[in-house]
Each structure stands twice: as structure tokens, then as C-alpha cells.
Amino acid sequence: MQTPAHSGIAEPLTYLAAAALPAGTLVRVPLGQREVLGVVWGEAAPEAAGVEGPVLRPVAAVLEGLPPLSEGWRDLVDFAARYYQRAVGEVALAGLPPQLRELGADQLARRLARKPRAAADAGPAGDTPRTPTPEQAAVLAELRAGGAGAFLLHGSTGSGKTEVYLQAVAERLAADPEAQALVMVPEINLTPQLEARFVARFGPLYGAGAVVAMHSGMTNPQRLGSWLAAHLGRARIVLGTRMAVFASLPKLALIVVDEEHDPSYKQQEGARYSARDLAVWRGRREGAQVLLGSATPSLESWWGSRPPADGDPGGRYRRLAMPSRVGAGDLPAVRLVDMNLQPPRTRLSAGLVDAIAQRVARGEQSMLLLNRRGYAPVLACGDCGWKSECPHCSAYRVFHKIDRSLRCHHCGFAERVPRACPACGNLDIAPVGRGTERLEEELAELLAGVQRPEADGGGPVRIARIDADSTRHEGELARQLAQVHEGAVDVLVGTQMIAKGHDFRRITLVAAVNPDGALFSSDFRAPERLFSLLMQSGGRAGRDSAWLAAQGSRAEMWIQTFHPQHPLFGALRRHDYPAFAAQQLEERRAASLPPFSFQALLRADARTQEAAQGFLTAASADVEDLPEAAAVQRYPAVPLTIQRVANVERAQMLVESESRVALQRLLAQWHPRLHALRRGPEGQGIIRWLVDVDPQLI
């Protein structure tokens, strides 16, 4: 059941029932003064069942009409709770829709009595199966012959991975009238075309309710409807984000994880699970096939799919390859602009501006990537050195010119831009650096004299910006994306939101304006993320080879950098992910970093940094007596990069071992000691603590 965070109640509680209840049955039970949703996990131990008197409280109600949650689902929850060091009830209840937790037995009965939508509502077919390319056909044949297990599909951008997903799902559903498939995407609002294609492909075959979505952008009633459809077997396909890995699918036959490298699959709040890794575990437990797809796989998956060689038995996954683009379209040519050779304070090189202007004049579209929203990252005074620091965080408030505000992107604190420097009264305070708002403004000035072709209606350049600020209102993202697809936008400016999953047919030029920040980051995963982002965003260019040929144009990716000789850019120019991965893996092996070691973070939030670090230091000393301590390296406690957020000080301690078993054993024995430490003098001032296993952000 759902228990308060850090309550120390990690094990199932025992209640009395009038009759034996099968494991997996959903019930309502009293907890303190509340009545909460619970899941029957099994029969109580004899000593607990024999307790007399008022110790055991009775089950309040059984949610009739719902089949019990399957043993496979409960095993998944058990494993996730054990591996990620969370309470079983927390993980189980997080996997159920919020509205289900509030419904009583009578309310649920009325909800189940509603008739599902008729198959006639599915609408006309809008997406018919396409003849596979030779590479697609080879991949589908290997999947067909491979049986259960995990496969890594390394397909270049535009190689047709989505069509492989569609046809693989179709084959599973056709082979078994009860089979179900789970298709996971990093962020559902960034891949509307994928959802539309699945609905168009399978709705006419299996009815309007054949495809359901599961993601946090849905209302609670919508999430409950999707969960019920999947649990009752009415839905054949669940399309969702990381939360969908816990969907109740009693006849699961196939799991697809699209863009498996994406960090969004790692939950960053509560139970910090990796949905990708849980998908692989779930597939193995339930005998389902798992297909991980990406043009730039995570290094863990790449290493896990290595072929056998020189005594190495190889990885656990089978690697499949689709290196060619559908329609024989070439990948964009990568051009590096050495910003050291540009005039001082150049923001957009003259060559890049000219290349964009030429494309606008031909009726083509361009896309500029700058992974920083707002107008400028900081507002500063040149006289006294004042900067727009957030009073609640150890970070700067970002200047947003559109609404003349200074806004902290960590705690949300916002104020109007001051008329003068708050410290010295100087009227000349100015933005430093730039974000997407400023880039949009600069582009409008630089392209002011450029005209669109008369065939497209003529007129000045149309520039659109897509980031978290411009798409805050419901439906705004879909509206802006529709404008891009319709050709109503000439230049698209945005953050990484525009780099993922979109099939822009008329974009022929993609430019990364300032990607150097990740090259020398203290986070060892930063180069991997940068390479992935650049390769994925470059893949938005030239996706319609026939239209490109008709234009007499070629797809290009421009990268403005102060480090053009960096090996990352060399691999990117060749579109050579294997070479980049080999170089990165060699560096990680030398440094004993994942995937050659296993990590966890112990985090503490407190009123003072001293209290947070003191708690972590005491926690490290508290496990010195454990046998596993010798095999697990515990590093000193340090502040987080952004050490204060919303007036809460944050510190962390990295724990690392070359043995996953040793690390897990230490963490399991550490957990009760941390609860005890929190209640002692070392826990004074501590707001919360948490364990993050296999962290993505260090």
C-alpha cells in the first residue's frame, strides 16, 4: 500500500479478510485515520495470522470486477523495489493510476459498467504497411526467428525504425488474438506522429480502443481508462512514457523502447528507476521480446550488445543494424565552423547566415538548436558586478525579455526586471549570454532583407521558437509543430525539444549554435549526450530525399565550435557512432566507469550544507563494519552542482563497485541503518535522504 515517504514501513502490512483473497487482488484498507488502496501480496506468515485482539484491522472493501494483478507484474514491482532501494508499496502504487487509488468499490463498479468505444469510432485507415527495405526485412526476419530476449536495433536517423516497430507489433498481434504490446517513447508530447501512426495502423484492425496512451500529460480519468483497458485485455497496444513500464498487461508479447538512449527513461523523483532497464527485465521474466531502438544507443546498451570476440562471450543483447536511410537519402554533410577564426563577439557566423538565407529563398526550412531557453542566462551590472542571482537557489535567474521577467528555472521564483541595478542604482544593466529568445531576435535582424519565394507567397522570413516557455499552454506545441509541417515556418529555433522524433520533411539545414559546454563537463556522460543530441538533431535534415532532389539541394548540419579538432566532432562528421562509442568505452574502461563498474548516489537535503554533508559522512562510517564495504568505494560527500534549491541545501556521496552484487548487498544493509541514523543526532536538520541506483546525473 502507499505509505508516507521515509516512514520506515517497507514491508507489507497484515490485515484480516473475511475470505482468502488471491495475490494481486486490489482492496481498500485502513491506514491510520485514512482508507487507502492496497494490493494483496500473499498470505500472512502464520505467526502474524495468529495474532489476536485489535492488532490486525480488517480489509475495508475488495474491488470486485477487476482480475488480480498478475504474478509477473508483482515480480516486476518486487524486483524494482529491491534493486532501486524503495518500499514495495511505493513502487506498486506508483504503477497504478492515481484515480484508482481514490475510487471505492461502488465507484469502480460504475466505472467498469461503462461500455468501451465501438470499433466504428476507429476512423479510416491512414497508415498502411509499407514494403520493407532489404535492411528492414532482414531485421524483421531476425526478430521473427529470435524468439524471446532483448535486441538492440541500431538504425540511423531516417532508416525506418518506426516501420519496423509497426510491423513487429503487427506480427505479434496477428499471431495471438490476445497478445499485447508495449511501445515506450521518451516524451509522448514530442512524438505525436508516432502515436498517430499507431492509431491509424491498428485502429481499423482492432477497434478504436486498440491503442491507448499512458503518460503524465493525461487527465486522471484518461489514465484510469487506459490502465483498465490494458489490464482487462481490451487494449492490444500501450503507447507511453517511462511510467508505462508498470502497465498491467496480462498477455505481454513484445516491448519496444524507442530512443532507448534517452535520459528521460530514468525517473528523477521518488523511486528512481530506469524504465529501459526494467523493460529488459520484464521481457525476460514474462518471455516477451524486447526491442531497443536508437541511432545513438546508450553506451551501456552498445556494450551489452557487443558480438563475441577473442574469448569474450559477448553481450546479453543481439545487435541489429539498419545503417541506410529509406529512399537512399544521404545523411546531412557536417560542416564545422571554427569560431576562433570569426570576428570577436560573433554569435552567428556569416557563412551560416548566408546558408540559411539561401534556403529561405528556395522555399526550404532551417532549424537552429540552442539548448538554453530564455533571452539570456543572466542579467548583470557592469559597474558593481551585480548579477541576477536567485535568492533561494545557488543559481542565476534567467532573463526573459518577452514578459520582462527574471525567472529561476530551478525553484520557479520570478520577478519583474528592475529598472536599475538593485545594488548600485546603475541604469545600464545588460543581458549576458543568450538563450533561444535572443537567438530568435538576432535571426530576425540578420535575415530582415531576405524574402521568401513568390511561389510560397513571398514576404519576409517567418521564424518560430519552440521551447518549454513557448509551449506552456495546452495544445501550443501541437499547433507550432503543425505550422512547421505545413511549411508556414522558414526557420525553427529551439532547444532539444525539436531534436527528438519529429519527421520534418522540408528541413534541409540544421545548425548547432553553441554545443561546446558539454565537451569538458565534469559529468562523464556529457560527451555521450552531446553526440546523441547532435546526431539526432542533424537527422531532422533531408528526410525527404525526393523533395530534396527536386529542389536541387543537399542536407547540411552546421556546428559552431571553438574546438573543431575535438574527436567527438570528427566522429560526427563521419556519422560514425561505432567509432565514437569505441573511444568513449575505452576511456571509461581505463577510469573504471559504467558499464565497467556500478554506481549509486546517496543524497541528503538539509537546512545547511554542513548538516547534509555530516549526515552522509556519518552514513559512510556506519557501514565500515560490513563485509561488502571492502569491495565498495565510498567517496567523500560533496555539494551538488546546484547546491541550494528553494532554500534547501543538497549534498551527495558517490558509491561505486566493480561488483553489482556487492553494491546491492551493501545498499540493502545500509537502508535500515540510514533510517536509524536519520532519527539520531546525525539526522538533525536533515529534510530527506534518498538512494539513486545507476544514476544518470552525477
How much is the pTM? 0.92
Q: Has 421 been labeled as part of a binding site?
A: yes
Q: What is the DSSP letter of 457?
A: T
Q: What is the DSSP letter of 370?
A: -
Is 654 annotated to bind ligand?
A: no
Rg for the chain, CA atoms, rounded: 27
Q: Is there a binding annotation on residue 411?
A: yes
Whether the ω angle into residue 527 lies within 30 degrees of 0, i.e. cis, is: no
Q: Residue 288 has which C-alpha cell?
A: 516477451
Residue 353: give the domain boundaries: 329-373+436-590
* Inside any domain, residue 2: no
Say if 13 falls within a structural domain: no
- Asked whether residue 474 falls in the same domain as residue 578, the answer is yes
Query: 6 lies in a domain?
Result: no
| pLDDT per residue as tens digits for the range 218-262 | 899 999 999 999 999 999 999 999 999 999 999 999 999 999 999
Residues 106 and 134 in one domain: no
Q: How many CA atoms lie within 13 A of 205 on its CB side?
A: 19
Dist CA 4 CA 2 (whole Å): 7
Task: Note whether 366 and 510 are within 8 A (CB).
Answer: yes
Q: Which of 542, 568, 590 is where one domain is finished?
A: 590
Is the sign of the CA dihedral 429, 434, 440, 445 positive or negative? positive
Q: Is 320 annotated as a binding residue?
A: no
For residue 218, what is the domain's CATH number?
Answer: 3.40.50.300
The residue behind cell 496480462 is 250
Residues 278 and 353 in one domain: no
Torsional class of 42: left (φ above 0), alpha (ψ -120 to 50), beta (otherwise): left
Q: Does 481 share its domain with 513?
A: yes
* Angle subtended by helix axes 71-83 and 275-286, to nearest 10: 140
Tally the domains of the chain.
Answer: 5
Do 238 and 126 lie in one domain? The reply is yes
Bridge partners, residue 26, by sequence: 39
Q: Burial, 427: exposed, middle or buried (Cβ in 10 Å; 0-12, 13-18, 19+)?
A: exposed
pLDDT-wise least confident of 79-88, 259-268, 467-476: 467-476
Q: Domain for residue 7, yes or no?
A: no
Residue 118: per-residue pLDDT? 41
* pLDDT band with cut points at 50, 70 and 90 for residue 7: low
Average pLDDT on 39-58 reads 68
To the question of whether residue 390 is assigned a binding role by annotation, the answer is yes
pLDDT digits (tens, 9 = 90+) for 416-430: 999 999 999 999 999
Contacts of 134 (CB under 8 A, 6+ apart): none
* pLDDT, tens only, 181-209: 999 999 876 666 777 889 999 999 998 88
Same domain? For 479 and 572 the reply is: yes
- For residues 406 and 555, state if they share a domain: no
Burial of 496 (0-12, 13-18, 19+ CB in 10 A): middle
Determine whether the annotation assigns residue 384 to a binding site: yes
148 annotated as belonging to a binding site for a ligand: no
Please give the average per-residue pLDDT across 140-163, as a whole number. 93
